[in-house]
Amino acid sequence: MEHWYVYYKVPVADTPAVANRVRAMFNVVGASGTHGRLMQRAEPESDEVTLMEVYEPVLDAHAFEQLLASVVRASGLAASVVARRRVERFKDL
């Protein structure tokens, strides 16, 4: 089982719209049995905020990678947001 963390920065003014699109993505991903959570960096930031999507449990990394890519393409997220997304994958010891 893996835990996926996707982080990126967005302009403060865009945060509500991005959050709505990401939550819609969670609805699609959730049908696969993987649940998503959206978090924001706790430390104060100025013009941008750091968002993090957490996906757990990811049982089949290859299938989830394809699903997430498809969901992101269909999400309506701006290309500038998509380009800044970074994925980190962890597994239990």
- Please report the pLDDT score of residue 57 as a whole number: 95
Q: How far apart are CA 64 and CA 29, in angstroms?
A: 9
Mean pLDDT for the stretch of residues 29-56:
94
Domains and CATH numbers, the chain: 2-91 (3.30.70.100)
In the predicted structure, residue 84 carries a pLDDT above the cut 90: yes
- Residue burial 22-57, b: 16+ Cβ < 10 Å; e: rest: beebbeebeebebebeeeeeeeeeeebbebebebee
Q: Is the pLDDT of residue 45 over 90?
A: no
